[in-house]
Homo-oligomer: A and B are copies of this chain.
Amino acid sequence: MSLVVVGSVAFDSIETPDGSVKDALGGSAVHFSLAAALFGPVQLVGVVGEDFTADCHNILREKGVSTEGLEVIPGGKTFRWSCKYFDDMDQRETLTTDLNVFEKFQPTLPAEYCQAGFLYLGNGAPVTQSSVLDQMSGKPFSVVDTMNFWIDGNRSELLELLGRVDALVLNDEEAYLLSGEKNLVRAGRSIRKMGPRIVIAKKGQHGATIFHEAGETALPALPLADVVDPTGAGDSFAGGMMGSLQSCGSVDLETLKVAVAWGTVTASFCCGGYGVEGLLKADPVSLRERFEQYRKMLDLQPVEIPLTSN
């Protein structure tokens, strides 16, 4: 069961209160791929310019990311984005967005990719995301990400897309915006009625909530003392989650919960360095160690508590 991701490939310039990085490898498809590659092979579909160096290609390939679907536009320039984080690292301000070759991105999947069992559509125009679904010959387990920009500006196209996918991942603010609800549980339930049978609301340092026909599951994030750069944490979360689902080959609720836990752990590595540095440092030993720490954190020992009935 192969895993395909379609999304942005970019060079990010990031300022935080403690430092900065310029033109670091980034973009939703990159963070997703490097996260998912910790669990198994990933096939990346994206577009870059001639400035996307051999080193960048190598970073992806060495980690097990197939770049056959990474289109290089001759004479083109890769998507560039810059942002600045505020003191609490929970909020950021986009400084510049130069879409460059990403502006006219029309993803075309290599024939082999169209059979994928798992498909992740990184944040992008809903019509573009739909065009990828049109190319699939099978019926992959499809997860889509979106953002305020599309919820506000392309609502009907987004709703059409939501009727065709298995799961939507979005952050809590986006869930409120999409649903018009002010309570997260109501928001998630309302979004499930728009189509996706699974909705996953990402809450940054507060973890994630899964909405499923069996009910709601809230899982916390790992408490982190050192958040170097949270850019890409959401896509790393999705990458870890789908990488783990692909490994299991199943998407029942228990497997999904474990997958969200792996996504949470993977995202915590992402936050540990600028750009993709944190993800590149993760290895099976450190990943598994942190997963066990997470599982232990959530394990509630059976303690007999007598209750009164006044």
Contacts and interface: CB of A to CB of B under 8 A. Distances in A.
A305 B223 contact: no
A37 B310 CA distance: 8
Given A203-B206, A218-B223, 8 more contacts: A39-B306, A40-B306, A186-B225, A207-B207, A218-B297, A255-B301, A284-B307, A284-B309
Given A183-B225, A224-B185, A308 B219 contact: no
A64 B225 contact: no
Nearest to A294: B300
B220 A300 contact: no
A123 interface: no
Nearest to A246: B305
B225 A305 contact: no
Q: Is the interface of A mostly helix, strand, loop or mixed?
A: loop
Contacts of A306: 39-40, 247
A9 interface: no
Interface of A: 17, 37-41, 62-64, 87-89, 176, 182-186, 189, 203, 205-207, 209, 216-227, 244, 247-248, 254-255, 257-258, 261-262, 283-284, 287-288, 295, 297-301, 303, 305-310
Nearest to A253: B301
B219 A305 contact: no
Contacts of A176: 88
Given A183-B89, A217-B297, A258-B301, A307 B224 contact: no
A295 B300 contact: yes
Given A183-B225, A184-B205, A218-B222, A248 B287 contact: no
Most chain B beta-carbon neighbours within 10 Å: one of A39, A225, A284, A301 = A225
Contacts of A38: 307-308
B307 A182 contact: no
Nearest to A262: B305
A258 B307 contact: no
Contacts of A227: 183
Given A182-B87, A203-B206, A297-B218, A255 B40 contact: no
A48 B189 CA distance: 44
A282 to B, nearest CB: 9
Contact of A244 (B87, B206, B224, B305): B305
Contact of A305 (B64, B247, B254): B247
